[in-house]
Structures are given as structure tokens and as C-alpha cells.
Structure 1
Amino acid sequence: MIRSSEPAILYFGTPVALLSSLNADGSANLAPMSSVFWLGWRAVLGLSAASQTAQNLLRHPELVINLPSADMADRVDRLALTTAANPVPPYKAQRGYGHVHAKFARAGLTPVASETVVPPRALEAPVQLEARIEAVHSIAAEDAALAGRILTFEARILRVHVDEAILLAGDPNRIDPDKWRPLIMSFQKFYGLGEQVRPSTLATIAEAEYRSPDVDKARLAGPADRLRIAA
């Protein structure tokens, strides 16, 4: 029986991402989040405006969207309730967050240089998406109590780095969904994907039909300025 309900959150299941961004002191921040979706070679990220990552992106609009696999859940969880912000913002302190500066070390991940942006990639993540922020929007701008508290960042992908193990055999430009097992967050709990339920009629459309002009634009992206990164 269907009934009306008022869940405090509506996180019905989205992939976990680890966002690499640049702190004000030039060091690298690494933060887990799961409010993300893709349209072509663009990603839309939802972040608290007060978060360290949001502040980093407003100041330096470059990042890497690292996508962990399901077997990386323990490493991702090491970053839970941590923030690079010092002092810890009151709303985070109230929820039990503590300051951690060396986020890559905390998660046991290896920072490696990106090709087109300054923030580093996480070597162990099977998917690493270098990106630049193209637009920022405020959520609930019509509500005086909520305006400015949550921001969405539109990120244009500049480089895609993928572990060969999850590529379709014989095609370096296609991900094999039967091999890719992303880490999923659903109502504050970690999950992985199961087997394919059934074929989709949408699969009769060639993936190339969805190719975005951003793919060709990304080829023009130059090398990142080589700043010193302290992970």
C-alpha cells in the first residue's frame, strides 16, 4: 500500500565521488560526496556552500571527480566526518566532524598529477575525471531561510582516465557496465551494483549518438599549471 511519507532525506541511491580540489594554502583536499549526476561530458555537483570543497571551487574552479569502486568502501569511509576546514564550521562540529589536513593519507590513497588541472587524481580510483567549473547556481534561491546554503556546480570534463579492467574488450572508449561496479550511497549506507536485471531498449541506440561537443573541446585543454601540491 502506497502512503504519504516525509523522509528527512531523499537519497534514493547515487554513486559516491571523491572530489579533489585545491585548498587556499596550495594543498590538496579530498572529500566524499554523492550528490552528483552526469549529462554528456558535464557533471552537476551539489554541495553545502559552507563546505571546504565548495569554498575551494569558488576560489579555484578546477577539480578531479574520482569514482571509487565498491571494494573501496573502507577507504572512502575513512574520510567520513572529516573536513579540511580549520576551525571546523559549527554545523559540522555539531555533527561530529573533525579537522584532517592530509586527506589522501587518511584514506590510504595516492595523489598523482593531473594533465589539465592543478588538483591531483586519486591513483586507486578506477575512474578519474579532470574537470573545470563552468557555472555555479544557488538552490532554493526563492526561500530566504535556505538561499545560498546549497550550491550546484556545473563541471565540464576535460580528461577521462579509466582503469583498463573496466573497459569493453576491443574498445578503449567504452565502459563495460558488466565490469564497472561503482560504490553507491543510499540513505547513508554503502552498496554495490548487482547483476543486470534485463537488457534495455535504449541500448539499441549507439553510444556514439550521445557524443557531446565537449569531447572535442576537451582535447584543446592544455597542461595544468604545475603548482606544488601537498596531499
Structure 2
Amino acid sequence: MHIDSHPAILYFGTPVVLISTVNTDGSYNLAPISSVFWLGWRCMIGLGSASHTAQNLLHTRECVLNLPSVQEAAAVDRLALTTGANPVPANKQQRGYRHVKDKFALADFTPATSGTVAAPRAAECPVQLEAGVVAWHRLGQDDPAQYGRIITFELKIRKVHLDTDILMDGYTDRVDPDKWRPLIMSFQHFYGLGDKVHPSTLAQIPERLYR
């Protein structure tokens, strides 16, 4: 049986991403999000327009998308309810956020030099994607109460860093889904992947054909 329902959020399950950006004073910011999807080497992310990360992206036009595995869940959780913005925006104050200047240190992540962007990589994350902003869009044009509160960014991936522990044996450019255990957020709770549930017809297509 189905019923009409009105959940406050629709986070049915997406990967957690830690976005590293450069602040206006040259220091680094690190923020967890889970509004993200990829198509080829393009990525779409959604952020609150008042967030420090969104403002950094509008200013610098670049970032690193760090993908934690389930092993980094505790470190990611240490970043919860923190913001690089000072003062803390009013909407985040209501939710209990606090300002933290060095979020890499708080999460115990190591900043690593990137190759194509000024923002650092989080060395402990198995996947690190250097990216540049190519477009952005403010959501909610049909609703004056919502318009401008959320920004979507289109990012172009410039450089990919993969931990060899998640690669298919004998490959340098193919991730083994049986080794890669991404951290997933579903309705604000952390989860991992379970076992494969069914053979995939799409998996029969060689990955090189998607280039």
C-alpha cells in the first residue's frame, strides 16, 4: 500500500563527498555534501547559496571532490555541524552549526597538493577529483520563497586520483566495485554498500565505450 506523503527531505541515498576549496584568505575549507551526481567527467553538485563552500566556488571556480569510503565515516562525522563561514549564517545557527577555521585538522585529514587546482586533496580519501566550475544555476525560479537559496554547480573533472587498493587487478583506470566501498548518506544517516544483488546487463558494455 502507498500513501501520499510529504517528507521534509528526499535524501534516498547518495554518495558522501568532501569538497575542498580555498578561502579568500588563502586557507582551506573542507565541507561534506551528498547532493551530487556524475555523467562522464562532468559532475553536478547542489549547495546552499549561503554556504562558505558555495561562495568559495563562485570566487575561485575550482575545487577537489574527495570521496571517502566507509572507513572514513567517523572523520566525516567530525565535520558535521561546522562551517567555514564566520559569522555563522542565521539558518545554520538555528541548526547548531559552529565556525571552524581548520576543518582538515578537525577531521584529521591531511591536505595534499593538487596538480591542476589550488585547493588541496584529502589524502586519506580513496578517490580525489580535481575540478573546475563551468556553470551554475540558482534553483527555485518558480517559487519566490525558495529562489536563490540553493545553487547547482556544473563541474568539469580535470584530474582523477585513485588509490590502487580499489583498482581492478591489472588495470590503472578501472575501479573494482567489489573493492570500492563508498560512504553513502540516506536520510542523514551513514551507510555502506551491501553485496551485489543481481547481475547487470549494463556491466557487459566495455567502459572504454563511454569515453
Quick check: TM above 0.5?
yes
1:155 matched to which residue of 2? 155
Provide the rounded CA distance (Å) in 2 between the counterparts of 1:93 and 1:32.
Answer: 17
Tell me by how many angstroms 1:107 deviates: 0.2
TM-score normalised by length of structure 2: 0.99
- Tell me whether 1:12 sits opposite 2:12 in the alignment: yes
Residue 88 of structure 1: aligned partner: 88
In the alignment, which residue of structure 2 is the partner of 1:200? 200
Query: What is the rounded CA distance, in whole Å, between the counterparts of 2:99 and 2:138 in structure 1?
Result: 26
The yes-or-no answer on 1:27 pairing with 2:19 is no
Q: Which runs of 4+ in 1 moved over 3 A?
A: none
Offset, 1:4? 1.2
Give the alignment of 1:143-182 within 5 angstroms. 143-182=143-182
- State how far apart, in whole Å, the 1-side matches of 2:139 and 2:92 are: 20
The SS at the match of 1:179 is coil
Aligned-pair distance for 1:198? 1.3
The letter of the residue matching 2:85 is A
Aligned to 1:222: none
Using structure 1 for the length normalisation, give the TM-score. Answer: 0.90
What CA RMSD, in Å, does the superposition of the two structures yield over aligned residues? Answer: 0.6
Amino acid at match of 2:128: Q
> In structure 1, what is the Cα distance between the partners aligned to 2:9 and 2:90?
21
Give the secondary-structure state (helix, strand or coil) at the position aligned to 2:10: coil
User: What SS does structure 2 have at the residue aligned with 1:26?
Assistant: coil
Q: Identity across aligned pairs (percent)?
A: 63
Unaligned runs of 5+ in 2: none
Q: Which amino acid aligns with 2:207?
A: E
Residue 136 of structure 1: CA displacement?
Answer: 0.4
Aligned partner letter, 1:89:
P
Q: CA deviation at 1:91?
A: 0.6
Measure the CA separation in 2 of the matches of 1:97 and 1:123.
Answer: 25
Aligned residues: 211
Where structure 1 has 5 or more consecutive residues not aligned to the other structure, the ranges are 212-231
1:39 aligns with 2:42: no
Tell me the amino acid that sits aligned with residue 205 of structure 2. Answer: I
Q: How far apart are 1:165 and its partner, in Å? A: 0.3
How far residue 103 of structure 1 moved from its aligned partner, in angstroms, is: 0.4
Task: State the AA in 1 paired with 2:98.
Answer: G
